[in-house]
Structure 1
Amino acid sequence: MSEDSPTAVYLAIYIITFLIGFPNSALALYSCIYKILRKPIPIDIFMLNLAISDLIFLTFLPIKMKEAADNMVWNMPHFLCHFHLFVFFLPLYSSSLFLTAISAERYVCIAFPVKYKSPKRIIYTVPICVGIWVIVGVSFIFVYKAAYIDSKEVLTDPQTCYSNFTMEQLRELLPVRLSLAVVFFFLPLITCCFCYINFVYILLKRPLIKRHRKLRAIGLALGTLLVFAGSFAPLNISHLVGFIKKENPKWRMTALTLSTLNACYDPIIFFCISSEMRWVIKVCAKAFIQFYANLKG
């Protein structure tokens, strides 16, 4: 990493993501558990897994903060480099698949209401969630093996983590990255666009559906596209560019940093879907306003 890299900007993005994402993800987790304990439905289970994914990511985000604060020099134990790669990329890729599952669930709900009410649907949801975690975990193994095929790994002076690669490593890593972009970004993006375009179209055609529900549906679609465009797109485009140019793009670190904003955008999706989440946010907002008023008084 060069000395003129905007590490202060990276650190600021990590801190903002943590401050916004962690409390909202915790609230989302609470509301999902509350709903599932009352009456579990497939959408709540998908949202629960998305909240868990975000919380795993945010819990270990301080490691990235430390790295950015040290100007991208890895001053922590070397084994922590391998661990932080796992807890950083695993939630990142699982989030895209859970968002896709949520979009498909919303589409099925409105397009096939009779099938959606079938009690058997809840039975299929748990294996789907387990399958998503397994797919992402197995995919990370291939990335790890490709990145560290050379026994000398990426040790440099000053030492960095997952930023400098030998040509042999890049020959193995770049095709794997492209595969990840296809499986965890391009295909999910196409699926989400198809599901939400039809979801919103069907809702708008039904005059009996209330206006606020239609607005939430539009907000849900836009929120999901915001996650893909603002968070996932830069990183996965870097995978495509890197494969074409046979190099590790210099701007990949910036793209990687932008991907962390995923945890800031997901609360929009929770808010649009969950009435409990909206209620909890209102209660917390009123409590904060009352606390602030008492301080001024």
Structure 2
Amino acid sequence: MLVSQLLLPVYTFTFLFGLPANILAFCTFCRKVHRKPTPIDILLLNLTISDLIFLTFLPFKMKEAHDDMIWTMPEDLCPLSSFMFFSTIYISTLFLTGVGFERYLGVAFPIQYSVYRRPRYAVISSVVFWLVGGLNLSIVYIVPFLPSNSSSVNGSVLQPSEKICYNNFTQEQLNILLPVRLELFLVLFCIPFLICGFCYINFIKILSRLPHISRRRRLRAIGLALGTLVVFAVCFGPYNASHVVGFVRAESEDWRDLALIFSTLNACLDPVIFYFSSATVRSAISGFVKGIREKVHVLKCKTIQSCS
């Protein structure tokens, strides 16, 4: 199947690259939050946790893609893996929006924000983001138990030997699921994207007018803002667009799995945002790379000595 052939290498690359990068970011933010918590670090830590949960359950999707999208694992793992997979996608959009909002307040209202800047507000926001994302995606558990009088799934009879995980729905199920997907598009994608766009566009405008910031620092901050917006649109836009198209056409679009490729890659791109957002992360990565180089150098010296 073409879809599985495309998904499997993307899932594998995301897992192999994203897992160590996010583990490094997680350890770095944990130390920083423990030492001196700041709102931006708390938000980035939660974003990292969301990505790590996503990557933890990604192997189930890798196995599914390897089996040509046929679910061969225990049935109980299907709703669990789907819930974790999809909920963390939307939770990431909320935390990316929170990071953008925090950055905007820091440059637009520096004095007022420094007075009211408290880590507990970031903790409260994080709890709200987790609850909103989790409750909205609880539809993954509800849909399979909706009453249905139809034996057909998306117009075709489901063969006993086939087990498709959260991809074939009866008409009764679609009548509930499609409006919920539209709500996800409006509430968990459009609103966060508009807020993120407003914050970063004004962030860029304000930075462009500040004379006391070095050109290099200004360009790095502007590049980070533009990069975050591009990541937001490219990674989450196609998948959420499938919700709108599916609602209009009253069916679950077959290309939703292909759109998930971009959302999956977000787990690789978030560490790039961490790198440019936090000097601590940059220092940790530099130290990690330096340590690897030193070990390689020692191994080379030992090899040369043993050969001579």
Please report how far the alpha carbon of residue 289 of structure 1 lies from its aligned counterpart in structure 2 after TM superposition.
3.3
Per the TM alignment, residue 143 of structure 1 is displaced from its structure 2 partner at its CA by: 4.5
1:22 aligns with 2:19: yes
Q: Quick one: distance in 2 between partners of 1:293 and 1:219?
A: 35
**Equivalence map 1:231-270=2 (5 Å):** 231-270=235-274
Check conservation: 2:3, 2:257, Cα contact below 8 A: no
Deviation at 1:117, TM superposition (A): 1.3
Partner of 1:70: 67
Amino acid in the other structure paired with 1:71: D
The aligned length equals 294
Match of 2:277 among 273, 276, 280: 273
Correspondence for 2:201: 197
1:132-147 matches, cutoff 5 A: 132-146=129-143
Q: Secondary structure at the match of 1:78?
A: coil
Q: Structure 1 residue 121: deviation in Å? A: 2.7
Structure 1 residues 60 and 143: CA distance shift in structure 2, 3 A = closer
Flag the 1:183–1:147 CA change in 2: closer, same or farther, 3 A. Answer: farther
The answer to whether structure 1 residue 43 and structure 2 residue 40 are counterparts is yes
**Cα 1:260–1:153 shift into 2, 3 Å:** farther
1:150-182 Cα shifts (integer Å, max 9, x gaps)? 468976431110111111111110110010011
Distance 1:71 1:32 in 2: 38
1:86 aligns with 2:83: yes
Aligned mate of 2:292, from 285, 288, 291: 288
AA in 1 matched with 2:222: I
| Code of the aligned partner of 1:84 | S
Contact 1:223–1:266 (8 Å) recurs in 2: no
Aligned 8 A contact 1:231 1:259 in 2: yes
Structure 2: runs of 5+ lacking an equivalent: none
For residues 127 and 59 of structure 1, the distance between their equivalents in structure 2, rounded to whole angstroms, comes to: 25
Structure 1: segments with no counterpart, 5+ residues: none
Give the root-mean-square deviation of aligned CA atoms: 1.9
Deviations 1:249-278 (A, max 9, x none): 111111123211110110121011110100
* Amino acid in the other structure paired with 2:203: F
Q: Does structure 2 retain, via aligned residues, the 8 Å contact 1:271–1:277?
A: yes
- Provide, for residues 89-131 of structure 1, a one-character-per-residue CA deviation record: whole Å limited to 9, x for no partner: 1211100000000000000000111122125532322111101
Give the TM-score normalised by the residue count of structure 2: 0.90
Question: Residues 220 and 268 of structure 1 are in contact (CA less than 8 Å); yes or no, is this contact kept in structure 2?
Answer: no
- Partners of 2:132 and 2:152 lie apart in 1 by 25
Pairing partner for 2:231 from 227, 233, 237: 227
Distance 1:153 1:92, change over 3 A: farther
Identify the residue that residue 55 of structure 1 maps to in structure 2. Answer: 52
Instruction: Tell me which of 199, 207, 210 is aligned to 1:206.
Output: 210
Asked if 1:160 is matched to 2:160, the reply is: no
Structure 1 distance, partners of 2:145, 2:167, is: 12
1:286 to partner: Cα distance: 2.3
The answer as to whether partners of 1:223 and 1:268 remain within 8 angstroms in 2 is no
Taking only the aligned residue pairs, the percentage that are identical comes to: 49
Contact 1:22 1:58 in 2 (8 A): yes
Amino acid paired to 2:104 = Y
Using the alignment, how far apart are the partners of 2:298 and 2:144 within structure 1? 55
Counterpart of 1:174 in structure 2 is: 178
Q: Distance in 2 between matches of 1:216 and 1:153?
A: 54
CA contact (8 A) 2:82 2:140 kept: no
CA distance in 2, matches of 1:238, 1:147: 21
* Counterpart code for 2:54: F
Q: 1:9 to 1:121 in 2, by over 3 A?
A: same
Relative distance call for 1:224 and 1:150 in structure 2 (3 A) is farther
Q: Which has the larger radius of gyration?
A: 2
User: In the alignment, is the contact (CA less than 8 A) between 2:207 and 2:218 conserved in 1?
Assistant: yes
Alpha-carbon distance in structure 2 between the residues aligned to 1:69 and 1:293: 39
- Give the Cα separation in 1 of the matches to 2:145 and 2:269: 32
**Matched residue, 2:105:** 108
Three-state SS of the structure 2 residue aligned to 1:178 is helix
| Alignment of 1:34 onto 2:38 | no
Using the alignment, how far apart are the partners of 2:271 and 2:226 within structure 1? 13
